[in-house]
Amino acid sequence: MSLPAKPREMSSRSSYEEREGLLAENDRFDPYDDPFDKELTTQPSDEDGWPRSKMVKTASGFILLLILGVFARALLRSPLHVHPDLSFSGDYIRSNGTHDFRRTVLIVSIDGLRADYLDRGLTPHLLEISKRGLRAKSMVPIFPTLTFPNHWALMTGLYAESHGIIANNFWDPQTELEFHYNKISSAWNPDFWLGEPMWETANKAGIITANLMWPGPPKTKSGSSPTYFVPWKDKVPLSAKLDQLLAWIDLPFDERPQLLMAYEPSLDQAGHLTGPMSTLVNQTLAQVDLFAAALHDSLVDRNLTDIVDIVFVSDHGMTDTSHPTLIYVDDDDMLGEQGLSAVVHEDGWPAMGLRFNSKKNESYYLEKLLTSQHPHAEGFDVYTKHTMPSRWHFAHHDRIAPVWIVPKIDYALTTRKEGDVGMSKGNHGYDNNEHSMHAMFVAHGPFSAVVKDLHRSSFSAWLPWKNKGWHSTSDDTYVMDSFPNVEVYGLVAKLLGTENYASHNNEYGDKKFPHSP
């Protein structure tokens, strides 16, 4: 599909407008003008030309295991190995009994599925899939814990300071352009999206790819597009998304994608609207669980569970914000009205990235914030690029504003004029160390069998990580320890055999992710 000739424009939005938009039906941008207002399609996308980027920075245990070919080869040679065709070569052809397939990866993002939602007793199918495969205690999102930064982190293996999507809305001082997640002219502008997504890496390896509404541009700066591309449209039934994924899987051999990506926002929308503990969230959670079951059962029916690795992820969690303690940034013990009027660009939300109209004002109001005697000073932190927590990897990019006010859980930044109007009852965007911000990871397929076999084998003593997770021998459930979501890019590259085509984040890439000989 090509871009619409005249994409629908939307006006710039303040933090107030952004938070109000979280409650609207069009919670994400809707690119559908007449040329797109049609059923889901398998029409291939165009390819012209746009950057190369990078790879993942750190390695969690299970992915390091997969990347270190010595362990995989040792397991495949061991008598404990009982799973067929676990080669990590993307070119290896397998049969499901009636048709030939190449190694395939299907990654599904369920927006806002907090890690501990799986313990509510409402997701029996996802839990059953995790028992057949594996589950992580949680997956740690990047900071800020927002939808667009984290979906691009999953795609590229990069933190926000490297992939450039530093919030759902921000200003770029180099281009003097504003990015808004729900505005096509920016959300589809490839200049905002740095790094190399996994589908571009796969394209370089000659692999067919398919993207079903995953947040991001239809093309990168290098001109790479998914082979099949279905753009975002709100309120698409889960059944239609299931049909589209299966239609791709059922394509003829030479047209069938090996990497499929899909996105579902309904749980996040419910969490914003009514809060993470609400009946609506529980009902929506049960619905996405049924979708996961139907998708997995469809793979079982096609005898593809030894061929297709299915990975369910989320981008972040959700916390209750129905009764936050409000911190008014225009009060005299914060910026004051004059200080707020000196702000020329405000990025992000619920955190605030501030750019002032002069360096003098920046220094003055930074000092005022740092020495604030606000009665709720315990509810927020003030950072510059030089004082940001290093674990956030949120300092080394021009798009990151020089001053940030970051609220803690149970607190919200606002102004006297805005108050709590438009605030959602559930939100995210807070410190990624907060457990309520953590995402989920559930997987089943050939690679999960490798991990479980190695864990219970004599090779487990050689595992290259200290915390090996928890394994129940009674029901063969394996729950991995928490790991950063930037690991997923490296995992998919290994599973598809595309690691030789992958870009590297920095000099540590080769050390953390040595290529299998």
CB atoms inside a 10 Å sphere around CB 39? 9
Q: What is the CATH number of domain 325-419?
A: 3.30.1360.180
CB atoms inside a 10 Å sphere around CB 442? 28
Return the H-helix or E-strand segment holding 24: none
pLDDT of residue 86: 47
The residue extents of the domains of the chain are 62-320+435-512, 325-419
Which CATH architecture fits 62-320+435-512? 3-Layer(aba) Sandwich (3.40)
pLDDT of residue 455: 66
**Closest of 113, 111, 112, 200 to residue 155, by C-alpha:** 200
List the catalytic residue out of 145, 147, 274, 498: 147
Distance CA 379, CA 476 (A): 43
Q: What are phi and psi of 404, to 5 degrees?
A: -130, 135
Catalytic residue flag (residue 98)? no
Burial environment of residue 85 by CB neighbours within 10 A (0 to 12, 13 to 18, 19 or more)? middle
pLDDT of residue 26: 38
What are the tokens at 401? 């504003």
pLDDT of the chain along its 517 residues, tens only?
332 222 223 333 444 445 544 433 333 333 333 322 333 444 454 444 333 343 333 344 455 454 444 334 433 333 333 444 445 555 679 899 999 999 999 999 999 999 999 999 999 999 999 999 999 999 999 999 999 999 999 999 999 999 999 999 999 999 999 999 999 989 999 999 999 999 999 999 999 999 999 999 999 999 999 999 999 999 999 999 999 999 999 999 999 999 999 999 999 999 999 999 999 999 999 999 999 999 999 999 999 999 999 999 999 999 999 999 999 999 999 999 999 999 999 999 999 999 999 999 999 999 999 999 999 999 999 999 999 999 999 999 999 999 999 999 999 999 999 998 889 999 999 999 999 999 999 999 998 888 777 766 655 555 555 556 666 655 666 788 899 999 999 999 999 999 888 875 433 333 332 333 2
Q: What is the pTM (predicted TM-score) of this model? A: 0.84
**Closest of 510, 443, 498 to residue 199, by C-alpha:** 498
Write down the H helix ranges in 302-410.
Answer: 336-341, 359-370
Distance CA 249, CA 415 (A): 50
Distance CA 76, CA 186 (A): 47
**Closest of 302, 247, 310 to residue 100, by C-alpha:** 302
pLDDT of residue 420: 86
pLDDT of residue 54: 39
**Closest of 426, 351, 406 to residue 114, by C-alpha:** 426
Distance CA 263, CA 314 (A): 9
**345: CB partners within 8 A, 6+ apart:** 171, 353, 354, 355, 401
DSSP symbols for 65-125? HHHSHHHHHHHHHSTT---S-----TT-EEE-SSSEEE-EEEEEEETT-BGGGGGSS--HH
Burial environment of residue 269 by CB neighbours within 10 A (0 to 12, 13 to 18, 19 or more)? buried
